[in-house]
Amino acid sequence: MAKIRRNEKREMPALNTSSLPDIIFMLLFFFMSVTSMKEVTYKVQFKNPQATELTKLEKKSLVRYIYVGTPTAEFRKQYGAETRIQLDDAFAETKEIGEYIVNERSSMKESDQGLMTVSIKADKETKMGVIADIKQELRRAYALKISYAATQRTSY
Amino acid sequence: MAKKIPQINASSMADISFLLLIFFLVTTSMDVNQGLARRLPAPIPPDQKVEDKDINKRNLLVVKINSANQLMVQGQLTDVKQLREKAKEFIKNENDADYYPKLVEEDFGAPIGVIRYTKDHVISVQNDVDTQYQAYLDVQNELVAAYNELRDECAHKYFHKGYNELDEDQQKQVQKVYPQKISEAEPKNYGGN
């Protein structure tokens, strides 16, 4: 018959923590894969403007970026402090945007070409003259789907 | 006699991986790709003559932004925060006012049916070369917000759901009632440098 032993001292078994590192590693890999690294090294610096009616950009492979801002400190000597445009990894002139878009589009699958979106990541202090030039250039290249990159506004 | 290998103490492994985890959490920039989606008009072929579309004055809402980021709506100095309400009033024209766009009757199919809407309204945004990008985006944002709110109202009225919960066909129906018509003029120099 089972006897209930109450008053005997029983030691608590040590908790087996050998699987803890695995769990943490899983978390680590999850975060490593989920967080998006920035696409290129920025040669221009910009602060995103703020807005409220934002939509998320779906399908990263269909998005091309145009960065607009002032050159970062290391390039300032060479390029000055005027607003510059960056395409991929290099500075570019407004005129080169059309060619860039056409090239990028032709490297896409044919079924995806109509879905290409151009995301304009510009500094909030940029003068509209520059943006307007870019827009004209995009129109000419038939890249009509655009998105003004912005961050969510939290307060007015 | 085989010597027994002593077990390696792995209890610090968890701490090491925690450190790594925290490092990655801190360094990776959560670069959320969000933005204000817009559609540019198709370019005009060079051989095509630009037709002067005669837009009735009442169908037009002119929003001008000058180089000091000041806003002018229909000739009145306005704050950005009032733009949304003004735009909504303009697009809806509930009271059939003669200074707001003309209402046209049209059948939108069930369950909306025949209602009157401002078919030919146009919101024209004009900005200066020196306008700040943020100011321009504020205006665009408010106008898009006005449309979104109107569409949401419409969806609640006829479908008893939010606009985002509707399926694609229903969204298209609602879009027909409130078509987004924001036109942008070529940038010009409006007074002052």
Domain of A124, CATH number, reads 3.30.420
Overall number of domains in chain A: 1
Domain of residue A83, residue span: 44-50+61-152
Does residue B162 belong to any structural domain of this protein?
no
Does residue B77 belong to any structural domain of this protein?
yes
Q: Of the candidates A54, A128, A142, which has its C-beta nearest B127's C-beta?
A: A128
Residues of B in contact with A32 (CB under 8 A): 24, 28
Does residue B93 belong to any structural domain of this protein?
yes
Does residue A108 belong to any structural domain of this protein?
yes
Does residue A17 belong to any structural domain of this protein?
no
Does residue A145 belong to any structural domain of this protein?
yes
Split at pLDDT 50, 70, 90, the class of B54 is low
Can you give the pLDDT at residue A8?
61
Residue A9 has pLDDT above 70, yes or no: no
Asked whether the bond before B46 is cis by omega within 30 degrees of 0, the reply is no
Burial of B87 (0-12, 13-18, 19+ CB in 10 A): buried
Chain B stretch 73-102, residues whose beta carbon is closer than 8 A to a beta carbon of chain A: 81
Tens digit of each residue's pLDDT (9 = 90 or more) over B125-182: 888 888 888 888 889 899 999 989 988 988 888 888 888 888 888 888 888 888 888 8
Can you give the pLDDT at residue B193?
41
CB contact under 8 A, A38 and B40: no
Domain of B125, CATH number, reads 3.30.420
Domain of residue B109, residue span: 57-148
**3-class secondary structure for chain A?**
CCCCCCCCCCCCCCCCCCCHHHHHHHHHHHHHHHCCCCCCCCCEECCCCEECCCEECCCHHHEEEEEEEEECHHHHHHHCCCCEEEECCEEECCCHHHHHHHHHHHCCCHHHHHHCEEEEEECCCCEHHHHHHHHHHHHHCCCCEEEEECEECCCC
Residues of B in contact with A122 (CB under 8 A): 133
Does residue B79 belong to any structural domain of this protein?
yes
Q: Choosing among B20, B134, B150, which should be mutated to test the A contact, i.e. which has the most A CBs within 10 A? A: B134
Tens digit of each residue's pLDDT (9 = 90 or more) over B1-41: 567 777 777 777 778 878 888 887 777 666 667 888 888 88
Does residue B19 belong to any structural domain of this protein?
no
Split at pLDDT 50, 70, 90, the class of B113 is confident
How many A-B residue pairs are in contact by the CB < 8 A criterion? 153
Q: What is the ipTM of this complex?
A: 0.73
Q: Of the candidates A124, A135, A138, which has its C-beta nearest B134's C-beta?
A: A124
Can you give the pLDDT at residue B186?
65
Q: Please indicate, yes or no, whether the overall pTM of this predicted structure exceeds 0.95.
A: no
Overall number of domains in chain B: 1
Does residue B108 belong to any structural domain of this protein?
yes
The distance of B21 to chain A (nearest Cα, Å) reads 5
Does residue B189 belong to any structural domain of this protein?
no
Can you give the pLDDT at residue A27?
82
Backbone angles phi, psi at A54, to 5 degrees: -95, 145
Residues of A in contact with B81 (CB under 8 A): 156
Tens digit of each residue's pLDDT (9 = 90 or more) over A98-150: 899 999 888 888 888 888 889 998 998 888 888 888 888 888 888 888 999 88
CB contact under 8 A, B35 and A21: no
Supply the mean pLDDT for chain A. Answer: 83
Backbone angles phi, psi at A20, to 5 degrees: -60, -45
Residue B192 has pLDDT above 50, yes or no: no
Does residue B40 belong to any structural domain of this protein?
no
For residue B87, give the amino acid letter: A
